Amino acid sequence: MITPQLNYDSIANDYNQRYPTSQQWGRGEALLKLARQINAKKILETGSGTGYWLNLLHQVTPQLYGLDFSAGMIAQARRQPAPLKLTHAKATQLPYQSAAFDLIYCVDAIHHFGDHRAFIREAYRLLKPGGALAIIGHDPHEAGISSWYIYRYFDNVYKTDTLRYPAGTSVLKWMHKEGFQDTSAQTVEYIRNEYADENVFTDPFIKYNATSQLALLSEKTYQSGLQNIGNAISRSKEINKSITFRSEIIVKMWLGFK
Protein backbone atom coordinates (compact mmCIF):
# COMPACT_ATOMS: atom_id res chain seq x y z
CA MET A 1 0.00 0.00 0.00
CA ILE A 2 1.42 3.40 -0.94
CA THR A 3 0.33 6.23 1.31
CA PRO A 4 1.74 9.76 1.42
CA GLN A 5 4.79 10.24 3.63
CA LEU A 6 5.62 13.38 5.53
CA ASN A 7 9.18 14.60 5.97
CA TYR A 8 9.25 15.56 9.64
CA ASP A 9 12.48 17.53 9.14
CA SER A 10 10.34 20.33 7.74
CA ILE A 11 8.19 20.64 10.86
CA ALA A 12 10.68 19.61 13.57
CA ASN A 13 11.36 23.17 14.80
CA ASP A 14 7.70 23.88 15.57
CA TYR A 15 6.63 20.42 16.66
CA ASN A 16 6.91 20.99 20.42
CA GLN A 17 4.23 23.69 20.27
CA ARG A 18 1.73 20.86 20.64
CA TYR A 19 2.99 20.13 24.15
CA PRO A 20 2.18 23.16 26.31
CA THR A 21 3.79 22.67 29.73
CA SER A 22 0.48 23.38 31.51
CA GLN A 23 -1.26 20.31 30.08
CA GLN A 24 -1.53 16.85 31.64
CA TRP A 25 -1.56 14.05 29.11
CA GLY A 26 -3.42 10.78 29.70
CA ARG A 27 -1.06 8.95 27.36
CA GLY A 28 1.94 10.12 29.39
CA GLU A 29 0.30 8.96 32.60
CA ALA A 30 -0.48 5.57 31.01
CA LEU A 31 3.15 5.18 29.93
CA LEU A 32 4.48 6.12 33.38
CA LYS A 33 2.09 3.69 35.06
CA LEU A 34 3.04 0.86 32.71
CA ALA A 35 6.80 1.50 33.04
CA ARG A 36 6.51 1.45 36.85
CA GLN A 37 4.24 -1.59 36.86
CA ILE A 38 6.72 -3.70 34.90
CA ASN A 39 9.72 -2.07 36.60
CA ALA A 40 11.16 -1.10 33.21
CA LYS A 41 14.89 -0.50 33.29
CA LYS A 42 15.55 -0.14 29.56
CA ILE A 43 13.01 1.62 27.37
CA LEU A 44 12.81 2.26 23.62
CA GLU A 45 10.46 4.65 21.84
CA THR A 46 10.18 4.16 18.09
CA GLY A 47 9.25 7.30 16.17
CA SER A 48 10.45 9.19 19.23
CA GLY A 49 10.20 12.62 17.58
CA THR A 50 11.35 15.44 19.85
CA GLY A 51 11.73 13.07 22.81
CA TYR A 52 8.86 14.52 24.85
CA TRP A 53 7.63 11.16 26.22
CA LEU A 54 11.11 9.74 26.75
CA ASN A 55 11.97 12.79 28.82
CA LEU A 56 8.86 12.15 30.94
CA LEU A 57 9.99 8.56 31.55
CA HIS A 58 13.28 9.78 33.02
CA GLN A 59 11.43 9.61 36.37
CA VAL A 60 11.47 5.81 36.00
CA THR A 61 14.87 4.99 34.46
CA PRO A 62 17.92 6.69 32.92
CA GLN A 63 18.22 4.06 30.17
CA LEU A 64 16.12 5.76 27.51
CA TYR A 65 16.49 4.94 23.82
CA GLY A 66 14.81 6.80 20.97
CA LEU A 67 14.70 5.94 17.28
CA ASP A 68 13.39 8.18 14.55
CA PHE A 69 13.58 8.45 10.78
CA SER A 70 13.86 12.25 10.85
CA ALA A 71 17.26 13.80 11.58
CA GLY A 72 15.49 17.10 12.33
CA MET A 73 13.33 15.51 15.04
CA ILE A 74 16.38 13.77 16.52
CA ALA A 75 18.18 17.12 16.68
CA GLN A 76 15.23 18.50 18.68
CA ALA A 77 15.24 15.45 20.98
CA ARG A 78 18.91 16.10 21.82
CA ARG A 79 17.74 19.31 23.52
CA GLN A 80 15.64 17.46 26.11
CA PRO A 81 16.97 17.64 29.68
CA ALA A 82 17.09 13.82 29.96
CA PRO A 83 20.14 12.21 28.33
CA LEU A 84 18.58 10.18 25.50
CA LYS A 85 20.34 7.58 23.38
CA LEU A 86 19.09 8.48 19.93
CA THR A 87 19.34 6.58 16.65
CA HIS A 88 18.44 7.63 13.13
CA ALA A 89 16.73 4.58 11.59
CA LYS A 90 13.44 3.04 10.50
CA ALA A 91 11.01 1.39 12.91
CA THR A 92 10.68 -1.66 10.68
CA GLN A 93 14.39 -2.56 10.97
CA LEU A 94 15.46 -1.85 14.52
CA PRO A 95 19.26 -1.80 14.91
CA TYR A 96 19.45 -3.27 18.43
CA GLN A 97 20.29 -6.66 19.92
CA SER A 98 17.47 -9.12 20.55
CA ALA A 99 15.89 -9.36 24.03
CA ALA A 100 17.35 -6.01 25.10
CA PHE A 101 14.36 -3.92 26.27
CA ASP A 102 11.73 -4.09 29.03
CA LEU A 103 9.38 -1.66 27.33
CA ILE A 104 8.99 -0.62 23.70
CA TYR A 105 6.36 1.91 22.75
CA CYS A 106 5.32 4.36 20.07
CA VAL A 107 3.03 7.39 20.31
CA ASP A 108 1.20 8.81 17.29
CA ALA A 109 3.71 7.16 15.02
CA ILE A 110 2.72 3.66 13.84
CA HIS A 111 0.76 5.14 10.93
CA HIS A 112 4.09 6.36 9.52
CA PHE A 113 5.86 3.01 9.70
CA GLY A 114 4.46 1.62 6.42
CA ASP A 115 4.65 -2.06 7.28
CA HIS A 116 2.89 -2.03 10.65
CA ARG A 117 3.23 -5.73 11.23
CA ALA A 118 6.99 -5.69 10.54
CA PHE A 119 7.37 -3.17 13.36
CA ILE A 120 5.39 -5.40 15.75
CA ARG A 121 7.56 -8.38 14.76
CA GLU A 122 10.75 -6.38 15.40
CA ALA A 123 9.43 -5.18 18.76
CA TYR A 124 8.81 -8.78 19.81
CA ARG A 125 12.38 -9.71 18.90
CA LEU A 126 13.81 -6.81 20.92
CA LEU A 127 11.80 -7.35 24.09
CA LYS A 128 13.01 -9.38 27.05
CA PRO A 129 10.61 -12.13 28.19
CA GLY A 130 7.88 -10.39 30.19
CA GLY A 131 8.56 -7.09 28.40
CA ALA A 132 5.74 -4.94 27.05
CA LEU A 133 4.87 -3.34 23.73
CA ALA A 134 2.52 -0.32 23.92
CA ILE A 135 1.18 1.27 20.74
CA ILE A 136 -0.55 4.56 21.45
CA GLY A 137 -2.63 6.56 19.00
CA HIS A 138 -6.07 7.01 17.58
CA ASP A 139 -8.04 4.71 15.34
CA PRO A 140 -9.85 6.45 12.49
CA HIS A 141 -11.49 3.12 11.62
CA GLU A 142 -13.53 3.26 14.81
CA ALA A 143 -17.01 4.72 14.68
CA GLY A 144 -17.26 8.12 16.34
CA ILE A 145 -13.75 9.29 15.53
CA SER A 146 -14.97 11.27 12.53
CA SER A 147 -16.24 13.97 14.85
CA TRP A 148 -12.88 15.66 14.24
CA TYR A 149 -13.89 18.69 12.16
CA ILE A 150 -10.63 18.48 10.20
CA TYR A 151 -11.94 15.27 8.60
CA ARG A 152 -15.06 17.03 7.46
CA TYR A 153 -13.68 20.24 5.96
CA PHE A 154 -10.34 19.19 4.40
CA ASP A 155 -10.62 16.98 1.32
CA ASN A 156 -9.37 13.40 1.49
CA VAL A 157 -7.86 13.68 4.97
CA TYR A 158 -10.17 11.08 6.47
CA LYS A 159 -9.68 8.68 3.56
CA THR A 160 -5.89 9.04 3.71
CA ASP A 161 -5.97 8.40 7.46
CA THR A 162 -7.92 5.18 7.04
CA LEU A 163 -5.17 4.06 4.63
CA ARG A 164 -2.27 5.16 6.84
CA TYR A 165 -3.56 4.03 10.23
CA PRO A 166 -3.95 0.37 11.10
CA ALA A 167 -7.26 -0.56 12.71
CA GLY A 168 -6.93 -1.32 16.42
CA THR A 169 -8.40 -4.77 15.81
CA SER A 170 -5.59 -5.49 13.30
CA VAL A 171 -2.93 -4.31 15.74
CA LEU A 172 -4.19 -6.77 18.37
CA LYS A 173 -4.44 -9.56 15.80
CA TRP A 174 -0.84 -8.98 14.60
CA MET A 175 0.44 -8.80 18.19
CA HIS A 176 -1.19 -12.11 18.92
CA LYS A 177 0.20 -13.71 15.74
CA GLU A 178 3.73 -12.49 16.48
CA GLY A 179 3.59 -14.16 19.91
CA PHE A 180 2.41 -11.42 22.29
CA GLN A 181 0.26 -12.47 25.24
CA ASP A 182 -2.34 -10.74 27.41
CA THR A 183 -3.10 -8.30 24.61
CA SER A 184 -5.58 -5.53 25.39
CA ALA A 185 -6.88 -2.17 24.22
CA GLN A 186 -7.65 0.67 26.57
CA THR A 187 -8.61 4.31 26.22
CA VAL A 188 -5.89 6.48 27.74
CA GLU A 189 -7.00 9.95 26.70
CA TYR A 190 -10.07 11.67 25.42
CA ILE A 191 -9.30 14.85 23.49
CA ARG A 192 -12.31 17.14 23.44
CA ASN A 193 -12.08 20.68 22.13
CA GLU A 194 -14.74 23.00 20.79
CA TYR A 195 -14.33 26.24 18.89
CA ALA A 196 -17.20 28.57 18.05
CA ASP A 197 -17.20 30.37 14.69
CA GLU A 198 -13.93 32.20 13.81
CA ASN A 199 -12.31 30.94 17.03
CA VAL A 200 -11.62 27.75 15.12
CA PHE A 201 -8.73 29.56 13.46
CA THR A 202 -7.01 29.76 16.87
CA ASP A 203 -6.95 25.95 17.16
CA PRO A 204 -3.20 25.08 17.18
CA PHE A 205 -4.01 21.90 15.20
CA ILE A 206 -5.47 23.81 12.26
CA LYS A 207 -2.00 25.14 11.37
CA TYR A 208 -0.61 23.71 8.15
CA ASN A 209 2.39 22.10 9.83
CA ALA A 210 0.88 21.10 13.18
CA THR A 211 -0.27 17.62 12.18
CA SER A 212 0.66 15.18 9.44
CA GLN A 213 -3.02 15.17 8.37
CA LEU A 214 -2.78 18.76 7.12
CA ALA A 215 0.94 18.89 6.34
CA LEU A 216 0.43 16.13 3.75
CA LEU A 217 -2.03 18.30 1.79
CA SER A 218 -0.99 20.52 -1.08
CA GLU A 219 -1.04 24.23 -0.22
CA LYS A 220 -4.06 24.56 -2.54
CA THR A 221 -6.07 21.79 -0.84
CA TYR A 222 -5.16 23.16 2.58
CA GLN A 223 -6.34 26.65 1.59
CA SER A 224 -9.56 25.30 0.13
CA GLY A 225 -10.22 23.46 3.45
CA LEU A 226 -9.84 26.78 5.29
CA GLN A 227 -12.19 28.30 2.74
CA ASN A 228 -14.77 25.53 3.39
CA ILE A 229 -14.64 26.41 7.07
CA GLY A 230 -14.99 30.14 6.30
CA ASN A 231 -18.02 29.40 4.10
CA ALA A 232 -19.67 27.31 6.82
CA ILE A 233 -19.23 30.20 9.28
CA SER A 234 -20.73 32.68 6.77
CA ARG A 235 -23.71 30.41 6.09
CA SER A 236 -24.53 30.08 9.76
CA LYS A 237 -24.17 33.85 10.27
CA GLU A 238 -26.69 34.44 7.49
CA ILE A 239 -29.26 32.65 9.61
CA ASN A 240 -28.02 34.27 12.85
CA LYS A 241 -26.58 31.05 14.18
CA SER A 242 -23.26 30.12 15.68
CA ILE A 243 -21.37 27.07 14.40
CA THR A 244 -19.28 24.81 16.65
CA PHE A 245 -16.19 23.00 15.38
CA ARG A 246 -15.48 19.91 17.46
CA SER A 247 -12.40 17.75 17.92
CA GLU A 248 -13.34 14.58 19.72
CA ILE A 249 -10.55 12.07 19.52
CA ILE A 250 -10.14 8.92 21.55
CA VAL A 251 -6.50 8.00 22.18
CA LYS A 252 -5.97 4.30 22.76
CA MET A 253 -3.17 2.12 24.00
CA TRP A 254 -2.83 -1.35 22.48
CA LEU A 255 -0.73 -3.45 24.79
CA GLY A 256 0.89 -6.87 24.67
CA PHE A 257 3.51 -8.79 26.67
CA LYS A 258 6.26 -11.14 25.49
**Closer by beta carbon to ligand SAM, 8 or else 222:** 8
**Closer by beta carbon to ligand SAM, 70 or else 80:** 70
Least Å distance, CB 67 to ligand SAM, is 6
Stretch that binds ligand SAM, among 108-116, 161-169, 202-210, 242-250 (CB under 6 A): 108-116
Applying the rule CB under 6 A, the residues between 85 and 104 that interact with ligand SAM are 90-91
From 55, 65, 40, select the one nearest 132 (Cα to Cα).
40
Burial tier of 49 (Cβ tally within 10 Å: 0-12, 13-18, 19+): buried
Binding of ligand SAM by 134 (CB under 6 A): no
Work out whether the CA dihedral 116, 122, 125, 130 comes out positive or negative: negative
Angle at 47 between CA 45 and CA 48, to 5 degrees: 55
**CA distances for 122 relative to 101, 179, 205, angstroms:** 12, 11, 32
Least Å distance, CB 27 to ligand SAM, is 8
Binding of ligand SAM by 108 (CB under 6 A): yes
Q: Are 134 and 254 in contact (CB under 8 A)?
A: yes
Binding of ligand SAM by 73 (CB under 6 A): yes
Applying the rule CB under 6 A, the residues between 200 and 239 that interact with ligand SAM are none
Binding of ligand SAM by 252 (CB under 6 A): no
Label residues 16-31 b or e (16+ Cβ within 10 Å = b): bebeeeeeebebbebb
Least Å distance, CB 232 to ligand SAM, is 27
Binding of ligand SAM by 52 (CB under 6 A): yes
Binding of ligand SAM by 137 (CB under 6 A): no
CA distance 32 to 196: 35
Binding of ligand SAM by 254 (CB under 6 A): no
Give the interface with ligand SAM as residue ranges (CB under 6 A). Answer: 8, 46-50, 52-53, 67-70, 73, 90-91, 107-109, 112-113
